[in-house]
Amino acid sequence: MERMPRRNRGAEFRMTSIAKGGRRRSRLLLNYRQNRLLYWMLLPSVIYVLIFNYLPMAGLAMAFQDYSLTRGIFGSKWVGLKNFRDFFTGIYFTRTLSNTLILSLLDLLICFPAPIVLALMLNEVQALRYKKVIQTVSYIPHFISMVVAAGLIKEFTNSTGVIANLVTALGGTPKSYISLPQYFRSIFTVSQVWQTIGFNSIIFLAALSGIDQELYDAARIDGASRPQQLWHVTLPGIASTIIIMLILRCGAIMNVNFEKVLLLYSPSTYETADVISTYVYRIGIVKQKIGYSTAVGLFNSVVSLALVLTANKLSRTYTDSSMF
Amino acid sequence: MKSGNKIRDGASRRIFLAVNAFLLGVIGFCCLAPMWHVFCCSISNPGELARSGGFHLIPIAPFSFDGYRAVFGYRNILTGYLNTIFYVVFGVALNLLLTVPCAYVLSRKRFLPANAVMMFMVFTMLFSGGLIPTYLVFVKLGLIDTRLSILLCTAFSTFNMVILRTGFLAVPDALEESARLDGANDLQILVRIILPLSKASVAVITLFVAVGIWNSWFTSAIYLLDRGKWPIQLFLREVLINNSQKSLEAGVKASAESLATLVKYAITIVATLPILCIYPFVQRHFVKGVMIGSVKG
């Protein structure tokens, strides 16, 4: 009962403010008066995001400074693009960039399709009990902490681990694979498949279950074989999900699973294992070269942003799906 | 001709199904075996285990629970465990306290700047200041070496907020309207109407946040200096990755090297078991939790 007159007052208020020209602000003010509590409920998260997400973005200014912790961002000397020049001309640029890209491309080629294949395989299983068990079991590696997973990977690939035992049994000489640079990428990628295949298949399984069964019936009546059904019904049915996941994945190309690299690498494998983000960690947090490491990190973030925007645009141009 | 085709089709289909089931079995085995191996080692005979190495799908008799007894005897491990529980409980509470109201507000059509705020939030998923500037914010706020820093790291997740918001949007407007006519305010609408109808997505988000905090180690590694505040994962890292016995030293000094191997496995089980026990129960909600996140916001 009380609300009606208040609304009318609002309309009047709006009319006069249009005349004054401050339309947007007064509409906002009016909206605030009517939904005070909503605005207050939002406040904590907005403050949080401002401090912990946007303040660091402002801190990116350090990338253009010879930053000193004691003098702070306002007292430190501005050096223009010196930090970037140092990075691009130094020996670490090519090494960390190529390591990042290679690990990412391996991930894109092997770890990305693996859960799709698993979902398709599970989709064919007719014994529902069996399907359920395999699904449940396949999630386990996702829930094991990175520290434990890395510990297991180290144990299995050292000179007395499972892999070494297998090699011995086949007549080879066992080595400590995890400490040799030529094996790092394979170990990283294979273990990544193990960690992600089950959990990442959930979304594709859900998409598969959303395909209209009548499409299969129609295809069968038209004489389509099983592989033809897969190609013409199943894959188009989950294509939009695949594309969205692919866009997300492309945006993360510069963000190799850096916590895992950090746990698995050692100076002896830096040659193939050191990626941009681990390099940023070493020089920034360990060696405290703040300005320089911020510049390297900024380079990484900008390339990431460009990649995700490009992937999204491409997808919007060539298909119907896009993220935003 | 036609029926012949059908029979051949049937046979090849059966072979396909058998091969498929077998391969799935292999995948399942690969996912289960490593943790099973850890469990078997953790109750094996310490002396034999240290000598044999390799992979064990059956514990080496005679069984020994010395590993577990030792784990709970170590002060560090106990401290780490309690710290982790503290971080999970308060971290999850803080996270929900920030994420849920935000998702609710942004799902209301009455809220005029919803789109603008949404863009403000989603932008942080595309671009970030990165590791070093974020670290410096913590340094400048005097959060280094405080428990609060660990809670704040995980206090809000834009991604989870977007998922929850999509879930909240699915609740029919009519329910809210009638509650408002009855004089309910937004807090009441959220707690009495929206949340009970979005149990599944809230449960999944809670589980993901809890698991994330339980398993996290990197933020603690850079923000915490005092070992007394370390979560269990950092002690695990010391034992598993750096192969240092430092975490264990404080306990039994005279512990043989073989016992140390056993403890390594026991500690892994103790740190992982809570999560492996919980996830199967929330599992059936995963699909929903993951799916709604993928729907265009």
Q: What is the pLDDT of residue A322?
A: 67
Domain presence at residue B109: yes
Cβ of A45 within 8 Å of Cβ of B21? The answer is no
- Residues B265, B132 share a domain: yes
Cβ of A290 within 8 Å of Cβ of B132? The answer is yes
Compute the C-alpha angle B205/B94/A196, nearest 5°: 35
The minimal CB distance from B240 to the residues A124, A136, A151 is found for A151
Q: What is the pLDDT of residue A272?
A: 94
Domain presence at residue B87: yes
- Residues A209, A95 share a domain: yes
Domain presence at residue B61: no
- Residues B40, B88 share a domain: no
Question: Is the minimum CB–CB distance between B101 and chain A shorter than 8 Å?
Answer: yes
Q: Quick check: A57 and B127 in contact, CB under 8 A?
A: yes
Mean pLDDT within B275-292: 73
Q: What is the 3-state secondary structure (H, E, C) of chain B?
A: CHHHHHHHHHHHHHHHHHHHHHHHHHHHHHHHHHHHHHHHHHCCCHHHHHHHCCCCCCCCCCCCCHHHHHHHHCHHHHHHHHHHHHHHHHHHHHHHHHHHHHHHHHCCCCCCCHHHHHHHHHHHHHCCCCHHHHHHHHHHCCCCCCHHHHHHHCCCCHHHHHHHHHHHHCCCHHHHHHHHHCCCCHHHHHHHHHHHHCHHHHHHHHHHHHHHHHHCCHHHHHHCCCHHHCCHHHHHHHHHCCCCCHHHHCCCCCCCHHHHHHHHHHHHHHHHHHHHHHHHHHHHHHHHHHHHHHCCC
Cβ of B127 within 8 Å of Cβ of A148? The answer is no
Output the domain CATH number for residue B283. Answer: 1.10.3720.10
How many structural domains does chain B have? 2
- Residues A307, A241 share a domain: yes
Domain presence at residue A323: no
- Residues B170, B83 share a domain: yes
ipTM tops the 0.90 cut = no
- Residues B276, B171 share a domain: yes
Domain presence at residue A72: no
What distance in Å separates residue B35's CA from the closest CA in chain A?
9
Q: What is the pLDDT of residue B137?
A: 95
Domain presence at residue A279: yes
Regions of chain A with pLDDT less than 50: 1-14, 17
Domain presence at residue A76: no
Question: Is the minimum CB–CB distance between A285 and chain B shorter than 8 Å?
Answer: yes
How many structural domains does chain A have? 2
Domain presence at residue A34: yes
- Residues A202, A170 share a domain: yes
- Residues A166, A278 share a domain: yes
Domain presence at residue A192: yes
- Beta-bridge partner residues of A77: A66
Q: What is the pLDDT of residue A50?
A: 97
pLDDT in tens, B228-274: 999 999 999 988 888 766 666 544 444 566 778 888 899 999 999 99
Cβ of A154 within 8 Å of Cβ of B101? The answer is no
- Residues B75, B34 share a domain: no
What range does the domain containing B176 cover? 71-294
Q: What is the pLDDT of residue B278?
A: 83
Contacts of residue B54, defined as CB under 8 A and 6 or more positions apart, other chains included, come to A160, A161, A162, A165
Contacts of B268 in chain A (CB under 8 A): 148, 151
> Of the candidates A14, A32, A62, which is a domain's last residue?
A62
Question: b/e per residue, A118-138, with b = 16+ CB within 10 A?
Answer: bbbbbbbbeeeeebeebbbbb
The span from the CA of A65 to the CA of A81, in Å, is 9
Cβ of A145 within 8 Å of Cβ of B186? The answer is no
Q: What is the pLDDT of residue A10?
A: 47
- Residues B81, B48 share a domain: no
Contacts of A242 in chain B (CB under 8 A): none
- Residues A50, A107 share a domain: no
Question: Is the minimum CB–CB distance between B21 and chain A shorter than 8 Å?
Answer: yes
- Residues A182, A113 share a domain: yes
- Residues B39, B99 share a domain: no
Q: B296 pLDDT exceeds 50?
A: no
Cβ of A37 within 8 Å of Cβ of B106? The answer is no
- Residues B252, B114 share a domain: yes
Domain presence at residue B194: yes
Domain presence at residue A71: no
Q: What is the pLDDT of residue A106?
A: 95
- Residues B194, B272 share a domain: yes
Q: Quick check: B42 and B68 in contact, CB under 8 A?
A: yes
The span from the CA of A308 to the CA of A73, in Å, is 30
Contacts of A158 in chain B (CB under 8 A): none
Domain presence at residue A73: no
Q: Which of A53, A280, A285 to mutate to test the interface with B (most CBs of B within 10 A)?
A: A53
Domain presence at residue B63: no
Contacts of A276 in chain B (CB under 8 A): none
SS3 label, residue A314? helix
Angstrom CA distances, A148 to A153, B172, B187, B268, stand at: 9, 44, 41, 7
Q: What is the pLDDT of residue B166?
A: 86
Contacts of B291 in chain A (CB under 8 A): 203, 206
pLDDT in tens, A139-167: 999 999 999 999 999 999 988 888 888 88
- Residues A223, A298 share a domain: yes
- Residues A50, A143 share a domain: no
**Residue A109 or residue B45, greater confidence:** A109
Measured between CA atoms, the residue of chain B closest to residue A284 is B132
- Residues B146, B48 share a domain: no
Mean pLDDT over the full length of chain A: 88
The confidence band for B58, taking pLDDT boundaries of 50, 70 and 90, is: confident
What range does the domain containing A145 cover? 82-318
Output the domain CATH number for residue A191. Answer: 1.10.3720.10
- Residues B281, B224 share a domain: yes
**Residue B213 or residue B76, greater confidence:** B213
Which amino acid, A87? F
- Residues B100, B45 share a domain: no
For chain A, positions 73-102, list CB contacts with chain B under 8 A.
none
**Phi first, then psi: what are they for A53, rounded to 5°?**
-115, -45
What distance in Å separates residue A189's CA from the closest CA in chain B?
15
Domain presence at residue B65: no
- Residues A293, A152 share a domain: yes
- Residues A136, A43 share a domain: no
The span from the CA of B103 to the CA of B174, in Å, is 19
Domain presence at residue B66: no
Q: Quick check: A207 and A198 in contact, CB under 8 A?
A: no
Q: What is the pLDDT of residue B52?
A: 74
Q: What is the pLDDT of residue B246?
A: 65
The confidence band for B290, taking pLDDT boundaries of 50, 70 and 90, is: low
The minimal CB distance from B124 to the residues A53, A136, A148 is found for A53
Q: What is the pLDDT of residue B4?
A: 43
- Residues A95, A45 share a domain: no
Q: What is the pLDDT of residue B216?
A: 95
- Residues A179, A244 share a domain: yes
Domain presence at residue B27: yes
Q: B50 pLDDT exceeds 60?
A: yes
Mean pLDDT within B10-37: 93
Cβ of B156 within 8 Å of Cβ of A136? The answer is no
**Residue B76 or residue A144, greater confidence:** A144
